[in-house]
Chains A and B, each alone.
Chain A
Amino acid sequence: QKEVEQDPGPLSVPEGAIVSLNCTYSNSAFQYFMWYRQYSRKGPELLMYTYSSGNKEDGRFTAQVDKSSKYISLFIRDSQPSDSATYLCAMISNAGKSTFGDGTTLTVKP
């Protein structure tokens, strides 16, 4: 069993929809939680970073962490065609090691 499991997708939504992307994890040593966006043939870029349970908002993006359930989510409001990409969750352990999910591919249709 993988340490980080991510909803596989693919996900296709109409423009303006609210998107929910989810990951679960099994390692209690994970302390820091991130969401990356990866466009085709590009490297991942960091979208959101948080270390505590609760919500963190940045523009149209909200990251949610529930450490008791070992579950994290990324919500995208008013989704745009430019949001079409693969979204990767990633976690850093207290030893500083990063582990990524396998990504969810999102397509936002105009």
Chain B
Amino acid sequence: RKEVEQDPGPFNVPEGATVAFNCTYSNSASQSFFWYRQDCRKEPKLLMSVYSSGNEDGRFTAQLNRASQYISLLIRDSKLSDSATYLCVVNTNAGKSTFGDGTTLTVKP
């Protein structure tokens, strides 16, 4: 079993839709959690950190459920520019991050 697992998708949604991604992790001692976004042929870029209390940044909401060991990302009112691969990242040891394989999102007109 992989340390960090994501549904690879692809998710194909129309503009304006709400879409949610989940990510599960296996190490209960994990401490820090993030979502990254990667566009085609580009480097991964930090989208947002994920806090226990949940956090929101505009149309994006991230949630952490430590008991069930999963992280979620919700995108509301999706835009064409949201099309990308979304990577879930978990810090299992201090300073070392484990990346999921990513979930591909395509937003269509």
A and B interact: no
Which chain B residues have a beta carbon within 8 Å of chain A's beta carbons?
none
